[in-house]
Structure 1
Amino acid sequence: MTDEEEEPLSPMARVFQSPDVDYCAVTIMGFKSKICLDVLLDALKHIVSKLPRFSTKLTENGAKWIEAKINVQDHVVVPYIDPEEIGEDGQGFVDDYISRLTMIPLDRSKPLWDMHILNVKTSDAEAVGVIRSHHSLGDGMSLISLMLACTHKTLDPQNTAIPSLKRRETVPHGLRKQGWFLRLRCTVRSIATLLWNTLVDMLLLLATVLFLKDTKTPLTGGEDAGRNRKRIYHRVISLDDIKLIKNAMNMTINDVLVGVTQAALSRYLSRLYVNEQGRNNEEEDGALTSYPNHFPDRLRFRVACAVNIRSGIGFKPLTDMMAKDSKCRWGNYFSFIILPLSIGLQTDPLVYLKLSKAMMARKKHSYHAALVYFIIKMVLMVFGIKAAATLFNEPVKNLTACVSNVVGPMDEISFRGHPIAYIAFSSYGHSQALLVHYISYAGKMMISLAVDPTIIPNLHKICDDMEQSLKAMKAALWERGLL
């Protein structure tokens, strides 16, 4: 691509380039061995030249991509690490380093990414690689496709580990055996419900843009949340346990994750509200025994949930995603929906799952996400980038948190002979004090929290509550003979 062949940014990429949004994605990879810098640099030289977004930079007005002469060494940072500075807590050193990165902007005079190599032993890795990439380069699905193109299965080096996704049936199996009149009546009813849900969702979105704000809680970010330093923390939980619950409750993995998030944040907030009242908040066998009525009346607690809007289902090879006619294109082809969480202590942990299943079923039967993307695109074309960024950012600012889930590789992968122990996704620049990202990898589910530490100083407690909530749900299903 030459200067005469400048390529315009996609609508969402333009929004992310706005100073009012300016999101940056962080990919953290733990390796099972120390990282050999020479091997890494040699591999990147061959890979980056084939990736248009990672070898192009922005024009001065930030509206188009142009080709850039890239020197890989300029994008790879290997800091000097004093062993005494690490001490006995390698994970703490890594967390501090990543936190400092959230305050250092990417250099806009060159392609908007960098990679930091930390040959530091942590509790679950021998070394850590941290990749920062501006969100305008691509969304989570794009970054996973890039990772798959650069790696191979550890046990089968000739093949990549491509996640498989299956689209759920939209027509119940039993309905297919019914007569044409009943099927027609159900179809008409389904369309009417779809239109009604979409209308309600768009009216609520408009209200959220204009005035409707969440109830202020100890998790609510301040005015400077988007500019404050973020702290990123991760925790591994069992993907098998999530699948057990999914099958027992006839849900999706997304439904289970929303239920677990709902339960964990209820536990966390309950503890804070009880402590504010000067009471002791005790736990017995992981179950809270505190006071459910200490939550504010009519608590409104909503999260923005990222939704992939590509028409193609599943992951595709990177070359296919780069093709112009692909149904699963590289870039930022996602939108968001607003999920109202039911925050409050429940004596039965399965209630959280039932609530999340009903809520997600209703949200899936709405054009909310697709319409938001379309409206932002139209506003950008007619009124310009500032109006489009405001339309995207204002509703997000009035919500309490953001949640995202990405399907990762099913098998363990390696990068040029370096086996990867874990993968964690996160981002910073958002207006919330709390972001929750989930990514599956090789039979595990990784929880990543990005928080404003001035608002949430004990972020590990939220992960503790997620683990306890998952255990309580599994135990409840065992007791009822549903597993």
Structure 2
Amino acid sequence: MEKGRNGGMYEAPLSPVAHIFLSEPKREMVIISFVIFQRPVDVGAVKSAMKISVSNCPLLRSVPVTRRSGRMRWKELPEIHIDDHIIILPEELDVENIHGETSETYINAYVAELASWPAMSRDKPLWEIHILSQRRRCIVLRLHHALGDCVSLLALFLASCDLGGDLSAVIPSIVGGKNKEGLLRSIARAPLGVCRLLKVAWRMLLISVFEAKYTLYRMEDKTSIAGGLRVHLMPRKLATLSLSMDDMIIVKNKLNAKINDVFSGIVLCGLAKYLLLKSPDEPFKEAVISVGNAFNVRGQGAKELMLSIKEGDDIEWGNMVAVLHIQMKLVSPTKDPLQYVRNVRDTLNKKKKSNEALTAFKCHRLMRPSGGKLLERLHNRMAAHTSVTLSNMMGPSNPIFLKGNPVIKIGVTITKQSTPLQVHMISYYQKAYLQFLAASEIIPDPDCLSSCVDEALRDMKLAAVNMTTSDREVNQAGPYAWLTKITYSMPSRGCPNIQPKTFDVQTFN
């Protein structure tokens, strides 16, 4: 992004992804993030924090405008009023507690309702904050996806919070900075640059062929959770799940995987359990489904981006995200549950070695000047041919505060996507918070699905603890060898058809 020369006002072109999100009002994607505090929310503290964020980010002061050429650009407004973006829910409207609704259920229902709201008005910057009643201790941020991705939103929020302790311990570094080479070294490596250029061109060709094929027809088996072109118009339901990061790290270390591999594996395993639960009288049919995995391709992580915001440096704002589409097989959940993590790990490692995410992102940038409509249709068709979209972020590992009020939970989700199921995970203070946003006509009970995912992590943790030094020895011992040594009870979490499981002999702490 760059600053304009007309009176110092900020003006910049839209990114390729932002153009997609703003081109069609019915498909305008909005990031909805909710933050739950330990004490009731102080409205004055929220306004003060937003003034800091608005002053640090020019896009929060800008609106999209269309030039005579037909192209859209961001244009900074001379003045904005914070009060115009704050929506305070009156206490008398919060009557759900009378019917026995918990705060978690109420917040989930409120966020799901926001997911069906009409497009945001472009007369003012595309963001707003909803402050729920005092008993909920929650604020909900509704921000247009064209303004930025979830990583930049997290960095912006952290820049307005009080971070206790060592900064490197509070926010671990995720992505390193860009590798900058000197001029002489670049010239010395010029012959290798030609080879790299040819290699990148070949990758772009392969990715273009794959995306074209992916756009033309569905590359997955037909299942009960398959989507379509009009899924984004369906009402949504939201379910949340809290998992232990220590349990995920146990599985991660045993399989030499990454947290993203474990996260994707437990979601797919839980999805297989959910499909089996929905058809208990039919034999389980192993199916291939398409999964979209979002990756941050910027040269900065949330920590580096937050420091840049605080210091006023140049930042890579906007949408620096690429989605890797992979085909995963839903094997029977009665088999080795760790196989899901192994399959995801091996598949994503091949994708990462080919640098497909960054290459695809550059391809989309090249298509922006002349292929805006083509890029929009490509994105919509690929989303319609995807059953599940996954995204995860590493958040603070220590408690954070907003003007002295401790934050106890953070959640984020994205609306108006054509995929029937979106699962977003953000880690915070030794916990992993998952949000399941599902099309209610396809997945009417996301709470049941979250219970299946919870059970999947339990199974994987127990299998990892009892796993021997080699996967081959585990397979020879049989898929149920690790179950005979453990005792645990799995709560139903809103899914009455799932009964708690108990096994004898000894317990695991």
TM-score scaled to structure 1, two decimals? Answer: 0.83
Greater relative contact order (CA < 8 Å, ≥ 6 in sequence): 1
State the partner residue of 1:472. Answer: 459
Q: Which moved more, 1:372-381 or 1:459-468?
A: 372-381
The amino acid that maps onto 1:340 is Q
- Within a 5 Å distance, the mapping from 1:415-434 to structure 2 comes to 415-434=402-421
Instruction: Determine if the alignment matches structure 1 residue 74 to structure 2 residue 84.
Output: yes
Shift of 1:193: 11
**Contact 1:231–1:453 (Cα < 8 Å) also in 2:** yes
Q: 1:475 to 1:224 in 2, by over 3 A?
A: same
- Alignment partner for residue 14 of structure 2, among 9, 16, 30? 9
State the partner residue of 2:113. Answer: 100
Q: Give SS of 2:436's match.
A: strand
How far apart, CA to CA, are the structure 2 residues paired with 1:443 and 1:79?
31
Shift of 1:43: 3.1
Q: Which moved more, 1:441-450 or 1:197-206?
A: 197-206
Shift of 1:100: 1.9
CA-to-partner distance for each residue in 1:247-295, whole Å, 9 max, x for gaps? Answer: 11111111111211221111111222335x4xxxxxxxxxxxxx4xx32
State the partner residue of 2:369. Answer: 381
Instruction: Determine if the alignment matches structure 1 residue 85 to structure 2 residue 96.
Output: yes
How far apart, CA to CA, are the structure 2 residues paired with 1:243 and 1:56?
41
Shift of 1:157: 10
Instruction: Determine if the alignment matches structure 1 residue 357 to structure 2 residue 345.
Output: yes
How far apart, CA to CA, are the structure 2 residues paired with 1:66 and 1:50?
16
Q: CA RMSD in A?
A: 3.0
Q: Give SS of 1:214's match.
A: coil
**Contact 1:9–1:65 (Cα < 8 Å) also in 2:** yes
State the partner residue of 1:366. Answer: 354
**Contact 2:228–2:384 (Cα < 8 Å) also in 1:** no
State the partner residue of 1:129. Answer: 139
How far apart, CA to CA, are the structure 2 residues paired with 1:42 and 1:160?
26
Shift of 1:481: 5.0
- Alignment partner for residue 450 of structure 1, among 427, 431, 437? 437
Q: Which moved more, 1:220-229 or 1:64-73?
A: 220-229
**Contact 2:219–2:290 (Cα < 8 Å) also in 1:** no
- Alignment partner for residue 245 of structure 2, among 236, 239, 245? 239
Shift of 1:350: 1.7
**Contact 1:434–1:452 (Cα < 8 Å) also in 2:** yes
The amino acid that maps onto 2:285 is F
**Contact 1:2–1:67 (Cα < 8 Å) also in 2:** no
CA-to-partner distance for each residue in 1:401-450, whole Å, 9 max, x for gaps? Answer: 21111111121111112211011110101001100111111111111111
Shift of 1:35: 0.4
State the partner residue of 2:389. Answer: 402
- Alignment partner for residue 285 of structure 2, among 271, 290, 295? 295
The amino acid that maps onto 2:162 is H
Q: Give SS of 1:53's match.
A: helix
Q: Give SS of 1:226's match.
A: helix
Q: Which moved more, 1:78-87 or 1:317-326?
A: 317-326
**Contact 1:148–1:162 (Cα < 8 Å) also in 2:** no
Q: Give SS of 1:208's match.
A: helix
State the partner residue of 2:501. Answer: none
How far apart, CA to CA, are the structure 2 residues paired with 1:166 and 1:44?
26
Shift of 1:300: 2.7
Q: 1:410 to 1:480 in 2, by over 3 A?
A: same
- Within a 5 Å distance, the mapping from 1:179-198 to structure 2 comes to none
The amino acid that maps onto 1:137 is L
**Contact 2:169–2:397 (Cα < 8 Å) also in 1:** no
How far apart, CA to CA, are the structure 2 residues paired with 1:311 and 1:42?
30
- Within a 5 Å distance, the mapping from 1:168-187 to structure 2 comes to none
**Contact 1:256–1:353 (Cα < 8 Å) also in 2:** yes
Shift of 1:98: 1.7
TM-score scaled to structure 2, two decimals? Answer: 0.79
State the partner residue of 1:172. Answer: none
State the partner residue of 2:256. Answer: 250
The amino acid that maps onto 2:395 is G
Shift of 1:367: 3.0
Identity of aligned residues (%): 25
